[in-house]
C-alpha cells in the first residue's frame, strides 16, 4: 500500500513536470531566453528519471536518460534548436507520459505498440546523441585496477563512471541498535581492518527535540569515505549483524552519476555548504575539495568562481552531481516558515467538504426562518451571526475549489502547434489572464467547448500564409485565450485575427438546409447564432479538425449546462471573438426566491436586474400588450404560472422580475417576492432531468423543495410554444 501511495505521488508530480516540459518546448523556437527554457526541460527530465529510479521504474529511467542526454547537449550548445528536434522531443514527452502511466499502473510487460514506438523514438534521437568512442580513463579503479567506465554520450554522460576513487559508505543506525546490545562505534573500528577511513562525518540531523529523546535509542548516522582493496561483498559483511535494523548503502569507486545524485537526495544533514554535501555523498574526497578551495581563494575577489564550477572544470566531478547538490543545498536553505504552505488534497475529500458546507447553509437557513417565525430577538441576533459565519465558511470553501485556468489554456499550445503545421499554417497561441481562477468542476467541463472553438479558429478562422499576405496581414496568425472577471461572472474570450464569420455564406447555407425562411433575412447577429445549431457547417470539406457540424452544438449545450452563454463578436476579414460567460461556481449560489401558485422557485441572483410590484391597472395593460416597458425599452413578458401550471390563468401575477441573459432582458411575472437566499444546487433524478426550464433543485431551511429556474431554457421553451412572448 505504501509503494502504491509513493507511485501515485510520483505520477502526479511527473505529469506536472511533463506539462512544464511541453510548455517550454513549444515556447522554445520563438523565445529570447532559450537557455532558461532548456534548463526547465532538463530539470524536468532529470527529476523524472531520478524519482523513477528511486521507486524502481527502470523503463522510465532508461528512456528518459536518452532524452536527458539530448537536453544536456542543448545546454552545452552542441546542438542547434530546430523544428525537427522540437517535434522529436514533443513525441518523446508523450512517450514518457505513457511509460509513467503504464509503469505506475502495472508491472507487466509493455504493450507491443509502446515498445515499437520507443524503438522508433530511439532511432529518431540517435542523430542528436552524437555517440562517440569512449575517452581514455583518468584513473584506474582502486579495487580492481580496471579503467573507469564511460559510455561516451556527450561531454557529461549520466551513466559514465565519475566521482571519487574510494568507496563511499552511507550508514544510518536503527533506533533499537543499543537495545539489541550493539555498539555502533565497534563496527567503525572493525571496518578499519579492511582499509583506510579517509573521511568520516557523524550526522545528528535525526535527533529529536530534547523532551522527545529516548536515552536508550540510537540516533547516529555516518557518511564514510573508505579506501580499500576488498570487494563490495566483503565490506558488506562487516555490517552483517546490522542489515535488518539499519540502512546501509555502499557505493563503489567511480560509480555512475545517478548513484551519487540519489544519495545526495537522501542526505539528512543540516549543512548548507556545497562542497560538504559533495564530500558526504562520496562524489569527491575531502582532499579534492581542499584543493579546489585553494584554487578558489587564489582567484580575484570579483571573478571568484563557484566551487562547483572549479570541480567540474578540473574533471573531479560530473556537472549533474554538482547540480543535484545545489538543489539539495537550496532545499536545506529553505526556511521552515516556507515549508508546508501548500498541501495536496484529494479532490474527493474537497467535494465532501463542499457538500457538508452546503448542508450547513441549508441548516442555517432553517434556523433563520424559524427565528423570523417566532419573533425572538435573541434568537434572531444569534441566527444572523451564524448566517454571517456560515457565509464566510462558504466563501473560504469555494475558494479552495478555485484553480487558475492557466493549466487548461496551456493544453492548447500543443493542439495549435500540431494542427497548424498539419494544415500548413503559421499560428501563434497567446495566453492572457491565466491567473484567473475558476471552480475546478467548471474547468473540467470547459475542456471540450474550448477544444472545439480553438479547432475552428485554426481550421476556419486563420487563413493560410499566402492568403494573409495578400490581404495585407502578417503571415503568422494569432489566436488569443483570455479570462477575466466581469460583473460577478467569468468571461473566457477566444479570439483570432482571421477571416471572420461570413454572414452571407451562413445565410445561404441556412436557406439550403431549410433552417430559415428565405424571404425573411434576420440581422447578422442572429445569423451568427446559427453556427450553434446541430449539423450546421459552412465548411466545404470535412477535415480532421472540423467540418461535420457537431462541434459548436456541443459548445452551446455544455456552456448552457453550466448556466452560461456564448456571445459572438466578429468583423468579416479581420477577426472573430467568442465570449463565454460563466457563473463563478456551480454548487452553491446566491439566488432570488419567488412564489408561483404556492410553489417556490429560485432565480440565479446574478441574472436578476430589477423587481416591480404591479398595480391592477398596469398589470392589465401589460397582459393585454404582451410586453413590458423597461427603462424605455420593450422587452418580452412571460407569465411563469403559464409556463409551469396549465391552470395558471385562473389567477393573476402581481409582481415582475426583470432578468437578463446573453444581453437580452425578459420580464417574468410571479405571484410573490421573497428576496435573496443562498441555495445548494441538487441535481434532479433521471425522470426530471430533461424537464425544460428547470436547472436543478434545492432544499429550503424548513425542508421544502424549491426548483431552480433555467432562464435560457424557459426563454427557448416559450419561443417554441404557443404561449405569446
**Which tens digit of pLDDT belongs to each residue from 260-276?**
666 666 665 555 566 66
Does residue 611 carry a pLDDT above 60?
yes
Q: What is the mean pLDDT of the chain?
A: 78
The pLDDT value recorded for residue 331 is 59
End-to-end CA distance of the chain: 62
- Burial zone of 369 (CB within 10 Å; 0-12 exposed, 13-18 middle, 19+ buried): middle
Which ranges of 161-213 does DSSP label H, i.e. alpha helix?
184-191
At the topology level, CATH places domain 588-719 in SH3 type barrels. (2.30.30)
At residue 316, the pLDDT reads 66
What are residue 568's phi and psi, to 5 degrees?
-110, 130
Strands of the sheet containing 705-709, edge to edge, are: 672-680, 588-596, 599-604, 705-709, 694-699
Question: What residue spans of 106-173 are helical by DSSP H?
Answer: 112-129
Structure confidence at residue 594 (pLDDT): 92
Distance CA 151, CA 162 (A): 11
298 DSSP 8-state letter: T
What number is the average pLDDT over the span 642-666?
Answer: 74
In terms of pLDDT, which residue wins out, 690 or 491?
A: 491
Cell of 275: 562542497
Q: Which run of H or of E encompasses 250?
A: strand 247-251
Predicted local distance difference test score (pLDDT) of residue 585: 66
Q: On the CB side of 365, how many CA atoms lie within 13 Å of its CA?
A: 22
Strand, coil or helix: 101: helix
- Could you read off the pLDDT of 566-576 as tens digits, one per residue? 888 998 888 99
Distances from the Cα of 499 to the Cα of 112, 263, 462, 491, angstroms: 45, 58, 6, 23
At residue 37, the 3 state secondary structure works out as: helix
Rounded mean pLDDT, 152-171: 57
Tell me which DSSP letter residue 346 carries: -
Grid coordinates in use for 264? Answer: 545526495
Q: How far is the C-alpha of 54 from the C-alpha of 259, rounded, in Å? A: 10
**pLDDT of the residue at 156:** 38
Average pLDDT over residues 417-437: 89
What is the maximum span of the chain, computed from C-alpha positions, in angstroms? 111
Q: Please give the average per-residue pLDDT across 350-367, as a whole number.
A: 82
Rounded-to-integer distance, Cα 673 and Cα 613, Å: 9
Query: How far is it, in rounded angstroms, from Cα 643 to Cα 709?
Result: 11
Domain ranges (residues) in the chain: 2-129, 167-335, 347-401, 403-583, 588-719
- Whole-angstrom distance, CA of residue 406 vs CA of residue 409: 5
Residue closest to 281 by CA, chosen among 201, 168, 173, 196: 168
Contacts of 652 (CB under 8 A, 6+ apart): 619, 623
Tell which residue, 511, 529, 528, has the closest CA to residue 520.
Answer: 511
What CA–CA distance (Å, rounded) separates 513 from 536?
A: 8
Measured CA to CA, the distance from residue 498 to residue 473 in angstroms comes to 9
User: May I ask the CATH architecture of the domain 403-583?
Assistant: 2-Layer Sandwich (3.30)
Instruction: Tell me which of 1.20.120.160, 3.40.50.20, 3.40.140.10, 1.10.10.60 is the CATH number of domain 2-129.
Output: 1.20.120.160
Residue 154's pLDDT is: 34
Strands (E) across 467-596 are located at 477-486, 489-496, 565-571, 575-583, 588-596
Q: Does the structure show a pLDDT above 60 at 42?
A: yes
Q: For residue range 672-685, list pLDDT tens digits in order.
A: 898 888 787 777 76
C-alpha span between 708 and 713 (Å, rounded): 12
Residues with Cβ within 8 Å of 374's Cβ and at least 6 positions away in sequence, in order, are: none
Amino acid at each position: 500500500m505504501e509503494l502504491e501511495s509513493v507511485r501515485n505521488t510520483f505520477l502526479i508530480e511527473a505529469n506536472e513536470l511533463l506539462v512544464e516540459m511541453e510548455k517550454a518546448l513549444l515556447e522554445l523556437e520563438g523565445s529570447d531566453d532559450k537557455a532558461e527554457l532548456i534548463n526547465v526541460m532538463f530539470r524536468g527530465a532529470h527529476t523524472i528519471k531520478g524519482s523513477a529510479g528511486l521507486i524502481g521504474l527502470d523503463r522510465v529511467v532508461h528512456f528518459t536518460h536518452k532524452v536527458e542526454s539530448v537536453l544536456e547537449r542543448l545546454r552545452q550548445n552542441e546542438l542547434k534548436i530546430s523544428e525537427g528536434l522540437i517535434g522529436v522531443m514533443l513525441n518523446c514527452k508523450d512517450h514518457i507520459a505513457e511509460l509513467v502511466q503504464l509503469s505506475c499502473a502495472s508491472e507487466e510487460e509493455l504493450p507491443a505498440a509502446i515498445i515499437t514506438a520507443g524503438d522508433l523514438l530511439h532511432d529518431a534521437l540517435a542523430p542528436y546523441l552524437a555517440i562517440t568512442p569512449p575517452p581514455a580513463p583518468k584513473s584506474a579503479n582502486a579495487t580492481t585496477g580496471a579503467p573507469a567506465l564511460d559510455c561516451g554520450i556527450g561531454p557529461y554522460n549520466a551513466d559514465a563512471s565519475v566521482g571519487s576513487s574510494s568507496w563511499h559508505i552511507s550508514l544510518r543506525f536503527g533506533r533499537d541498535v543499543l537495545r539489541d546490545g550493539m555498539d555502533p562505534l565497534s563496527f567503525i573500528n572493525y571496518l578499519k581492518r579492511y582499509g583506510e577511513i579517509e573521511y568520516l562525518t557523524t550526522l545528528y540531523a535525526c535527533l529529536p527535540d530534547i523532551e522527545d529523546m529516548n536515552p536508550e535509542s540510537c540516533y547516529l548516522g555516518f557518511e564514510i569515505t573508505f579506501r580499500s582493496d576488498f570487494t563490495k561483498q566483503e565490506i558488506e559483511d562487516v555490517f552483517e549483524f546490522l542489515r535488518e535494523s539499519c540502512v546501509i548503502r555502499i557505493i563503489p569507486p567511480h560509480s555512475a552519476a545517478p548513484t551519487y545524485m540519489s544519495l545526495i537526495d537522501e542526505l539528512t544533514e543540516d549543512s548548507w555548504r556545497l562542497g560538504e554535501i559533495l564530500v558526504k555523498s562520496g562524489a569527491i574526497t575531502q582532499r579534492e575539495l581542499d584543493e579546489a578551495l585553494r584554487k578558489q581563494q587564489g582567484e580575484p575577489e570579483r571573478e571568484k568562481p563557484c566551487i562547483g564550477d572549479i570541480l567540474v572544470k578540473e574533471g573531479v566531478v560530473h556537472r549533474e552531481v554538482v547540480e543535484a547538490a545545489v538543489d539539495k543545498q537550496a532545499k536545506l536553505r529553505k526556511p521552515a516558515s516556507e515549508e508546508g504552505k501548500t498541501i495536496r488534497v484529494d479532490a474527493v475529500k474537497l467535494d465532501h467538504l463542499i457538500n457538508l458546507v452546503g448542508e450547513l447553509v441549508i441548516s442555517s437557513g432553517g434556523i433563520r426562518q424559524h427565528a423570523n417565525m417566532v419573533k425572538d430577538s435573541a434568537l434572531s441576533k444569534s441566527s444572523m451571526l451564524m448566517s454571517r459565519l456560515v457565509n464566510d465558511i462558504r466563501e473560504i470553501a469555494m475558494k479552495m475549489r478555485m484553480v487558475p485556468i492557466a493549466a487548461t489554456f496551456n493544453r492548447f499550445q500543443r493542439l495549435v502547434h500540431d494542427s497548424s503545421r498539419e494544415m500548413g499554417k503559421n499560428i501563434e497561441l497567446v495566453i492572457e489572464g491565466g491567473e484567473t481562477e475558476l471552480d475546478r468542476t467548471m474547468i473540467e467541463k470547459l475542456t471540450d467547448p474550448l477544444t472545439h472553438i480553438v479547432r475552428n479558429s485554426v481550421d476556419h478562422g486563420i487563413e493560410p500564409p499566402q492568403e494573409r499576405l495578400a490581404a495585407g496581414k502578417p503571415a503568422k496568425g494569432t489566436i488569443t485565450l483570455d479570462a477575466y472577471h466581469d460583473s460577478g461572472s467569468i468571461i473566457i474570450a477566444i479570439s483570432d485575427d482571421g477571416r471572420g464569420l461570413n454572414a452571407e455564406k451562413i445565410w445561404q447555407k441556412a436557406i439550403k438546409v431549410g433552417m430559415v425562411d428565405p424571404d425573411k433575412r434576420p440581422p447578422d447577429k442572429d445569423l451568427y447564432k446559427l453556427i450553434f445549431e446541430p449539423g450546421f457547417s459552412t465548411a466545404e470539406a470535412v477535415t480532421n479538425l472540423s467540418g461535420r457540424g457537431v462541434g459548436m452544438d456541443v459548445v452551446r449545450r455544455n456552456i448552457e449546462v453550466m448556466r452560461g452563454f456564448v456571445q459572438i463578436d466578429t468583423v468579416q476579414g479581420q477577426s472573430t471573438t467568442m465570449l463565454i460567460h460563466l457563473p463563478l461556481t456551480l454548487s452553491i449560489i446566491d439566488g432570488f426566491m419567488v412564489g408561483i401558485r404556492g410553489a417556490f422557485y429560485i432565480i440565479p441572483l446574478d441574472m436578476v436586474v430589477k423587481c416591480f410590484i404591479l398595480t391592477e391597472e398596469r398589470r392589465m395593460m401589460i397582459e393585454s400588450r404582451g410586453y413590458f416597458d423597461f427603462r424605455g425599452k420593450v422587452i418580452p413578458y412571460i407569465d411563469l404560472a403559464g409556463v409551469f401550471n396549465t391552470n395558471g390563468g385562473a389567477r393573476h401575477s402581481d409582481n415582475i422580475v426583470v432578468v437578463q441573459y446573453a444581453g437580452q432582458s425578459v420580464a417574468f411575472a410571479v405571484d410573490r417576492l421573497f428576496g435573496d437566499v443562498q441555495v445548494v444546487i441538487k441535481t434532479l433524478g433521471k425522470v426530471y432531468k430533461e424537464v425544460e426550464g428547470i436547472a436543478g433543485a434545492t432544499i429550503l431551511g424548513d425542508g421544502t423543495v424549491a426548483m431552480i429556474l433555467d432562464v435560457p431554457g424557459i426563454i427557448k421553451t416559450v419561443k417554441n410554444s404557443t404561449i405569446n412572448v
